[in-house]
Amino acid sequence: MTTYIEIMSNLRLVHRLMTDRRQVMLEDGRTGKIVRVDTVFPDNSTTVSVWTDTKRGPGVAKVDLASILGAAPAQSA
């Protein structure tokens, strides 16, 4: 079970990545940019909307906070 401190730490990281417009890596391997973060209190459930670009085309994926692994690795040109 995750603690309140871990949830808040992850939430701050997600907000920083969104503000910096950094690419993030999802646990299923997709990458994208965070466009919205919704947290419901007192449940502490957070839904993150991520703009992804897949083979089927671009779209918004709504995922749980735990699905965000962190910043995506930088791609070389």
CA separation for the pair 60, 69 (Å, rounded): 17
Q: pLDDT tens across 29-72, in order?
A: 899 999 999 988 887 789 999 999 877 778 999 999 989 999 99
Q: Which two tokens stand for residue 44?
A: 């502490």
Q: What is the DSSP letter of 29?
A: S
Is the predicted pLDDT of residue 8 greater than 80, yes or no? Answer: no
Please report the pLDDT score of residue 7 as a whole number: 65
pLDDT value for 5: 65
Could you tell me the CA-to-CA distances from 19 to 16, 36, 43, 59 in Å, in that order? 5, 10, 24, 20
pTM of the model: 0.81
Judged against a pLDDT cut of 60, whether residue 9 lies above it is answered with yes
